[in-house]
Structure 1
Amino acid sequence: MQLEMPGMPRRLFPATPSKLAAFADCPRRYRFAYVDRPTPPKGPPWAHNTVGSAVHAALRSWWELPRDRRTAAAARQLLYGVWSDTGFRDAEQSASWRARAAGWLTDYVPTLHPDDEPVGTERQVAATTAALAVSGRVDRIDQRGDELVVVDYKTGRVPSTEDEARGSPALALYVLGVQRTLRRPCRRVELHHLPSGTVAAFEHTERSLANHVRRAEDIAADIAVATQRVEDGASPDEAFPTAPGRQCGWCDFRPSCPTGQAATPVRETWSSLPADDDAVV
């Protein structure tokens, strides 16, 4: 670790929401992703990630179309163009889910006014705190009156809730990033759950944002301590312990983690997709 010179500003910890979440979920996963070089091999890709990536890409490209081409049919075609069979059981399952995702877009796109140009789509934003240099990419930034709104697309099996919007560290850090990068008021965050057609929202306050920043800085401090322990000669396994649980079943680094393998049975790469008879998909 490079020592700080007396009188020099404190070095900020470079953080992204996913980086902080990795350590909070499991320090060992953080180590595998951000510390070990070369990075340990990952397991196979997951079908639910394929679905989410395709929907996100289609919506980003939809807003890039000329105004008169922003239709539900265009959104479906954009989805078909980026669709992949990666992670699915077979081509039949992939085709079924492509049709399902296309249906989500068919229902969602008409709720968007083509003239309401977002301030940004897949926009990179950044901010600094007393201890962090935070950056991240926002799915969509809307203009609502005099304020900006952070919009995050969700494609999971369970509809989003206000508690999820309020408690999301990523969304809170995106608000800070939008405020600092675009220098305009931003407090509201929205989770747009396409499968159910619902929106969960929360209006942040200075206090709620400060709480999120404090927790993020605490995680960064724990990362710094673990990293320093390794540099001082501690075992990496001791400095970055595992946090075994259900999440081990879908961890990308499961093949490199005996503890995670023992914690949960191996899962099929399509197992996180809702069953066809689920009420909400």
Structure 2
Amino acid sequence: MPRRLFSATPSKLATYADCPRRYRFAYLTRPTPPKGPAWAHNTVGAAVHAALRSWWELPLGKRSPAAARQLLYGVWSRTGFRDDEQADRWRSRAAGWLTDYVGELDPAEEPVGTERTVGATTERLALSGRIDRIDQRGDELVVVDYKTGRVPSTEDEARGSPALAIYVLGVRRTLRRACNRVELHHLPSRTVAVFEHTERSLANHVRRAEDIAADIETATEALAAGADPDVAFPPVTGQQCSWCDFRPSCPAGQAAVPARETWSFLAEETPPAE
């Protein structure tokens, strides 16, 4: 019988690569262990992404910077912030990013897709992912990913992102169009990091993804055969334990580093090091 393809998303592969125990908690353990609190920087990113998706769904004549601001206000949440003052301050800041960004867009240039799910297969994987935006530039399609983090995106980040490579493969397979270019649009700095994938760079990403999937399958089979869960899926401790969603259920992570405040990843909000 043909080997069954391993179903993978960028998030699924990245979770295992970061920490096998976190992968087990997220994808195998049922019921899923309780998670820690939500993070303010994720709240910001989710609101901006939702507003941009809705902005492109507006009738052409209503796609204005003011409309983008109102869409952000409509989906804004106070989750993860220290207090209402901080949440309001960041809402204003995010609204400024958004209105500046859409002010530089041509609202008449309809994207090929927004929040579009695409998929592709390799010899061992069934890959899928959801893309923020797909643009048409001449005869080719371009993958656009929005970023709202503290640090501007770089070409190295665009080149090294497994998710963006999977998106390129997914666009090619799902939409049957040429696609090589990926772009990281960092709204806070109004910069764009670009990389043009080649067949070689994509093959390198596929090989790494298949290696991770093989490790997951080996660990999952060991677990099913009765192996100790913490041996089959061991924790990888480090600074990432301070913000892991499953920190409440992981004694190793709790012992490794102190927990961070849920707003500490916001720019200019990190407390000084002791």
Interval of TM-score (by shorter of Structure 1 and Structure 2): over 0.9
Deviation at 1:266, TM superposition (A): 1.3
Q: Deviations over 1:188-222 (max 9, x none)?
A: 00000000000000000000000000000000000
Equivalent AA in structure 1 for residue 218 of structure 2: V
Paired position in structure 1 for 2:94: 101
* Helix, strand or coil at the partner of 1:22: helix
Residues 10 and 166, structure 2, Cα contact 8 Å, conserved in 1: yes
1:227 to 204, 220, 223: 220
Equivalent AA in structure 2 for residue 238 of structure 1: V
1:196-275 superposed matches below 5 A = 196-275=189-268
Aligned pair count? 270
Paired position in structure 2 for 1:17: 10
Using the size of structure 2 for normalisation, the TM-score is: 0.97
* Helix, strand or coil at the partner of 1:140: strand
CA distance in 2, matches of 1:255, 1:95: 29
Equivalent AA in structure 1 for residue 207 of structure 2: R
Match status 1:112 vs 2:105? yes
Paired position in structure 1 for 2:69: 76
Match status 1:171 vs 2:149? no
* Helix, strand or coil at the partner of 1:89: coil
Equivalent AA in structure 1 for residue 234 of structure 2: P
Q: Specify every segment of 5 or more residues in structure 1 that has no aligned partner in the other structure, as ranges.
A: 1-7
Deviation at 1:276, TM superposition (A): 5.9
Structure 1 runs (4+) greater than 3 angstroms displaced: none
2:144 to 148, 151, 158: 151
* Helix, strand or coil at the partner of 1:156: coil
Deviation at 1:232, TM superposition (A): 1.4
* Helix, strand or coil at the partner of 1:33: helix
Q: Sequence identity of aligned pairs in percent?
A: 79
Using the size of structure 1 for normalisation, the TM-score is: 0.95
1:194 to 179, 187, 194: 187
* Helix, strand or coil at the partner of 2:37: coil
CA distance in 2, matches of 1:18, 1:276: 27
* Helix, strand or coil at the partner of 2:163: helix
CA distance in 1, matches of 2:18, 2:194: 24
1:139 to 132, 140, 145: 132
CA distance in 1, matches of 2:223, 2:35: 23
Q: Deviations over 1:166-192 (max 9, x none)?
A: 000000000000000000000000000
Equivalent AA in structure 2 for residue 264 of structure 1: V
CA distance in 1, matches of 2:52, 2:184: 14
* Helix, strand or coil at the partner of 1:104: helix
Match status 1:42 vs 2:35? yes
* Helix, strand or coil at the partner of 2:146: strand
* Helix, strand or coil at the partner of 1:38: coil
Match status 1:53 vs 2:56? no
Equivalent AA in structure 1 for residue 53 of structure 2: R
Equivalent AA in structure 1 for residue 191 of structure 2: T
